[in-house]
Amino acid sequence: MKLNSQLYYILFIAAVASLGGLLFGYDTAVIAGAEQSVQLYLVESLGLSSFVHGLTVSSALAGCIIGALISGLLSNRIGRRNALIIAAVLFFLSALGSAYPELIFFTVGEPNFSLLVTFNIYRILGGIGVGLASAIAPMYISEMSPQNIRGRLVVLYNMAVVFGQTVVYVVNWRISVGRSSEWINEIGWRYMFASELIPAALFFFLLLFIPETPRYMALKRDYDKAYNLLEKINGSKQIASETLQQIKHSLNTQTEKVNIFYYGKLVLVVGMTLAVLQQFIGINIIMYYAPRIFATLGADQSTSMFQTILVGAIGVVVSLIAVRLIDRQGRKFLLLFGSAGCAICLLAVASLFFLGIQGISTLIFILGFVAVFQMTWGPVAWVVISELFPTKIRGQAVAIAVTLVWGANLAASSTFPPLNDALGTGAFIIYGLISTFAFFFVLKFVPETKNKSLEEIEKIWFAGKKVELETTDMVSEKKLN
């Protein structure tokens, strides 16, 4: 195979899988343009509280948790590609049902509690698709990529998530521009959800043209097909043979049962805390509620949706900067810089609110927060989580961490509406204080993993385990004496 055709084939595969990331971003951010209309139609019309509205906006995240929990089992049972096909189907069904929840059982214009529950079920289905895609699409790309370009191709997936959020912000704005608030609240929000049908259908169709991964083929002992695909990907029989042997060895090693606490508790505490902090810092408060937040600053509904495009565009630009900095400046530096920058911006937003200052200055600090987060905590936390855990417990630990990411996302986004009702943008003081805590946590507990092999990182925790064991032995010896 010629180099050009080999590279094009790999890029095609990575691009198709990255559509899962685009839909991840699209599905989680589409609610930003529709949430005020959904509140009027399905929450306030029934006399329900802002807390119910928060749960409705964030209900997809419950599905994300489910999807993350079942992703490992599903990908091993039916394959990585087939699991992504299921995710594509769920994206499509969710888009259709969220846009038209009255389908079959209800009448348009006659909201009731059962319709609210049905709408949330459709959103949860989409969330399951997001949970599956967020865990399996990067795994698929990693298993299909040659070692020398694997990192860049996995970053392509992360960029697709941010790009998907930006695309849906543009779509929501185009649907609303020049339209009255009454039209948006009656029909426009349905178009926003329905717009996801197009990328979901494209994702499903293109998945039919990409293969299963060599690792899954080897897992099912289909070694001939695995070898042929490895040769096609790497363009070398020798590399294909060597890689297949490494895969076989890895699969054999994974049969050994190892307790998740084998390396002590500290590595788990550090990884899980990073996962939770990434969400509690508050980025998805902006992603899900941006039009509402901008409306409180004086923008009308169409203008506020246009301003959310700035949020997405900034994320795309600074993620390119992160790609250049992550191996140059290091993971820990970027997390510390991000914690400090986020804290300053968020506390500034809260301070301006309490001083009675609303307008362009608040908008600047909100956009500054988005820029700092998307350049640091956004991509870097995922990289550190993938590197931090030793190989023997990585699968279990990463699954738990991803589940915690979505759980923390659900907790943060569902509690924002009542906080916003009580404090307005002054609620950002809470997220600013969390960012301050994150700075000191990273400074004290997170090791630098730049330019270290996974085996070198593993030694950090293994050394800690040895110290822990030696301390335990000394205590036991003193008791005996």
Distance, in Å, from the CA atom of 218 to the CA atom of 184, rounded to the nearest integer, reads 51
Lowest-confidence segment of 295-299, 362-366, 431-435 by average pLDDT: 295-299
Q: Which positions ≥6 away from 457 have C-beta within 8 Å?
A: 387, 388, 390, 447, 449
pLDDT at 362 over 90: no
pTM: 0.74
The model's confidence at residue 184, banded by pLDDT at 50, 70 and 90, is: confident
Q: Which of 474, 477, 479, 472 is nearest to 264 (CA)?
A: 472
Structure tokens at 460: 């950090």
Q: What is the mean pLDDT of residues 433-447?
A: 93
Closest C-alpha to 411, from 119, 51, 162: 51
Cβ partners under 8 Å of residue 293, min gap 6: 285, 286, 366, 425
Q: How confident is the model at residue 221 (pLDDT cuts 50, 70, 90)?
A: confident
Q: Is the pLDDT of residue 374 over 60?
A: yes
- Residue 392's pLDDT is 65
Biggest CA pair distance of the chain: 83
CA angle, residues 383, 387, 388, in degrees to nearest 5: 110
For the record, the structure tokens of 267 come out as 């590595």
Give me the pLDDT at residue 336, please: 95
Of 51-65, 175-189, 369-383, 384-398, which gets the smallest average pLDDT? Answer: 384-398
pLDDT at residue number 437:
96
Contact 32, 172 (CB under 8 A): yes
* pLDDT tops 50 at residue 87: yes
Q: What are phi and psi of 178, to 5 degrees?
A: 75, 5
Contacts of 326 (CB under 8 A, 6+ apart): 334, 379, 380, 383, 450
**Residue 132 clears pLDDT 70, i.e. is over it:** yes
Is 142 within 8 Å of 155 (Cβ atoms)? no
pLDDT at 99: 93
Pick the residue with more confidence: 28 or 45?
Answer: 45
Reported confidence tier of residue 2, pLDDT bands at 50, 70, 90: very low
Within 10 angstroms of residue 134's Cβ, the number of other Cβ atoms is: 24
Per-residue pLDDT at 97 exceeds 90: yes
What was the pLDDT predicted at 84? 94
DSSP states of 359-392: SHHHHHHHHHHHHHHHHTHHHHHHHHHHHHS-HH
In the chain, DSSP finds a helix count (H) and a strand count (E) of: 22, 0
Residue 274 has pLDDT above 80, yes or no: yes
Indicate the range of 277-281, 377-381, 464-468 predicted with least confidence. 464-468
Phi-psi map region of 145: left, alpha, beta (phi>0 left; psi -120 to 50 alpha):
beta
Does 353 or 464 have the greater pLDDT score?
353
Question: Domains of the chain, with CATH numbers?
Answer: 1-210 (1.20.1250.20), 262-481 (1.20.1250.20)
- Position 107 scores a pLDDT of 86
